[in-house]
Amino acid sequence: LDYGEVGLMDTLGALQSNQILTVGAGENKTTAFAPVIIEKNGIKLAFLAYLDIQSWRYDYQAWEATNEEPGIAWGHPEIMTQEIRKAKQLADFVIVLMHFGMEGEYPPTQQQVETAHNAIDSGALLVIGAHTHLLQPIEEYNNGLIAYSLGNFVFDGFAGNANKSAILHVTLSTCGIESHKLIPVEIDSQGFPNLVLP
- SS3 of the chain: helix, strand, coil, percent, to 5: 25, 35, 40
| Banded pLDDT at 37 (limits 50, 70, 90) | very high
Q: For residues 120 and 141, is the Cβ–Cβ distance under 8 A?
A: yes
pTM over 0.85: yes
Q: DSSP letter for 27, please.
A: S
pLDDT at 139: 98
* Per-residue pLDDT at 43 exceeds 90: yes
| Banded pLDDT at 46 (limits 50, 70, 90) | very high
| Banded pLDDT at 126 (limits 50, 70, 90) | very high
Q: Per-residue pLDDT averaged across 39-63, rounded?
A: 90
Please say whether the dihedral angle defined by the alpha carbons of residues 166, 132, 3 and 186, taken in this order, is positive or negative: negative
* Per-residue pLDDT at 197 exceeds 90: no
Q: Which residues pair with 71 in a beta bridge?
A: 26
156-165 pLDDT, tens per residue?
889 999 999 9
| Banded pLDDT at 9 (limits 50, 70, 90) | very high
* Per-residue pLDDT at 136 exceeds 90: yes
How far apart CA 115 and CA 77 sit, in angstroms, is 7
| Banded pLDDT at 55 (limits 50, 70, 90) | confident
pLDDT at 54: 82
Name the average pLDDT for the chain.
95
Give me the percent of the chain exceeding a pLDDT of 70.
100
Distances (CA, A) of 116 to 21, 30, 56, 65, 127: 23, 23, 22, 22, 6
